[in-house]
């Protein structure tokens, strides 16, 4: 099983689990404690298991342009943007973040479980010359510093002025003398940063553990369990649960990543067709009065007719209730609609909502921006 450059710390302090071929921290204290540390203060995550691909060369921009539905070449240097890899049918192969470092230099960050398939997809569609694609996952480390105090926690470790770094912008810098890229991005719904540190061409960065140990002095170490509950509260999809190759962006409420009038990318013909017809099913959130919904549980209307299915579900530490992302029929998807979720042997009452599940005046990056 693979490990990250921070494994020695996790081994001594965390409950470990296997994820995407890596031995990773599940939690250090409890999911709820780590979750609320991020919502109220700052938490740090080892996300070094995520795939990181360098795409360089004179044809790099045009290659990526044909790969994703979001405009690539018109993005300014230093911009990070969320987008999708689509198949020819418009299904979602993966969701990812691309950072444009320079005119012919891009960094692509993909989900750990999909990294091998994503790389194969990219290489299969790459031109014969003009672009170089390198997997730099093993020679880098990646940490997420998340929460309303994230900037204050990270700033002492870098000369980059984090206060001037806007959301979805990045800067090339050093973190404790370690060559790094810092982006104001994350997967928690909170303000925060993702830090990628680069080592020699043949090894992981030796200073990554020192950076982690400095950060943990003023923030909570957090594991995969809190990362999942945080992204669910924020309404962010998880590939393989909420989105997959049979789900198109319109069904997933992700059509906003498709640049207006863009054509010629993989899946664009299918996307043009989807634009003409409303999707039969759509993504919604659900809050239950009792019980914890889980993936695959049935969603029913007030007459107990089946209208959909839970794609992700868990306990919300903020609401102190069970919450879920669901795929429901378009005609039954109104926010506020009463529903029932079959939680094992019982039907639990709930209502449909539009995520995020928390009050944005009290939690999340919008609160942090005010």
pTM for the whole structure: 0.96
84/229 same-domain check = no
Average of per-residue pLDDT values in the chain: 96
**Of 114, 135, 156, which one is at a domain's C-terminal end?**
135
Alpha carbon distances (Å) from 194 to 59, 103, 112, 144:
27, 22, 15, 4
41/176 same-domain check = yes
Q: What is the pLDDT of residue 370?
A: 47
22/165 same-domain check = yes
pLDDT under 70: residue ranges of the chain: 368-370
Number of domains the chain is built from: 3
CATH code: domain of residue 363: 2.40.30.110
30/148 same-domain check = yes
Tokens of 283: 């993504």
Q: What is the pLDDT of residue 158?
A: 98
Q: Does any domain span residue 336?
A: yes
Q: What is the pLDDT of residue 368?
A: 57
CB 119 within 8 A of CB 135: yes
158/182 same-domain check = yes
List the one residue out of 3, 2, 114, 6 whose CA is nearest residue 53. 114
Structural domain harbouring 163: 7-47+137-234
Q: Does any domain span residue 319?
A: yes
CATH code: domain of residue 200: 3.30.1360.120
Q: Does any domain span residue 257?
A: no
The tens digit of pLDDT for each residue in 157-182 reads 999 999 999 999 999 999 999 999 99
Q: Does any domain span residue 265?
A: no
Q: What is the pLDDT of residue 369?
A: 55
Beta-sheet strands, E only, within 162-245: 170-175, 178-183, 192-198, 220-222
**Of 91, 109, 135, which one is at a domain's C-terminal end?**
135
**Of 135, 152, 171, which one is at a domain's C-terminal end?**
135
224/101 same-domain check = no
149/228 same-domain check = yes
38/156 same-domain check = yes
Residues ≥6 apart with Cβ < 8 Å to 110? 50, 51, 52, 53, 85, 94, 96, 118
Q: Does any domain span residue 242?
A: no
127/142 same-domain check = no
CA dihedral sign, ordered 315, 319, 225, 252: positive
């Amino acid at each position: 099983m693979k490990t990250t450059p921070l494994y020695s710390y996790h081994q001594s302090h965390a409950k470990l689990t296997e994820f995407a071929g890596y031995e990773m921290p599940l939690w250090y204290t409890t999911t709820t404690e780590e979750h609320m540390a991020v919502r109220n203060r700052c938490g740090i995550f080892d996300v070094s298991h995520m795939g990181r691909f360098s795409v360089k060369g004179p044809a790099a921009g045009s290659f990526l342009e044909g790969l994703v539905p979001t405009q690539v070449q018109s993005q300014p240097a230093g911009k990070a943007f969320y987008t999708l890899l689509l198949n020819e049918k418009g299904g979602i192969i993966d969701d990812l973040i691309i950072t444009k470092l320079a005119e012919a230099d891009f960094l692509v960050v993909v989900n750990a479980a999909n990294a091998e398939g994503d790389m194969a997809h990219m290489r299969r569609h790459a031109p014969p010359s003009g672009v170089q694609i390198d997997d730099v996952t093993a020679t880098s480390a990646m940490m997420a510093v998340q929460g309303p105090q994230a900037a204050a926690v990270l700033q002492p470790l870098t000369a980059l002025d984090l206060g001037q770094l806007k959301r979805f912008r990045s800067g090339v810098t050093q973190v404790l003398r370690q060559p790094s890229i810092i982006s104001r991005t994350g997967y928690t719904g909170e303000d925060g940063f993702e830090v990628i540190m680069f080592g020699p061409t043949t090894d992981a960065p030796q200073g990554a553990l020192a950076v982690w140990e400095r950060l943990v002095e003023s923030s909570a170490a957090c594991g995969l369990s809190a990362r999942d509950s945080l992204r669910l509260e924020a309404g962010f999809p998880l590939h393989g649960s909420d989105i997959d190759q049979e789900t198109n962006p319109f069904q997933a409420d992700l059509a906003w990543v498709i640049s207006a009038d863009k054509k010629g990318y993989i899946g664009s013909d299918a996307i043009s067709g989807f634009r003409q017809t409303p999707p039969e099913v759509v993504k919604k959130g659900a809050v239950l009065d009792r019980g914890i919904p889980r993936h695959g549980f049935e969603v029913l209307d007030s007459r107990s007719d089946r209208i959909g299915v839970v794609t992700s579900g868990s306990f919300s530490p903020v609401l102190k209730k069970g919450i879920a992302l669901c795929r429901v029929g378009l005609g039954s998807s109104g926010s506020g609609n009463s529903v029932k979720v079959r939680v094992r042997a019982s039907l639990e009452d709930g209502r449909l909502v539009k995520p995020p599940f928390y009050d944005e005046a009290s939690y999340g990056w919008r609160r942090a921006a005010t």
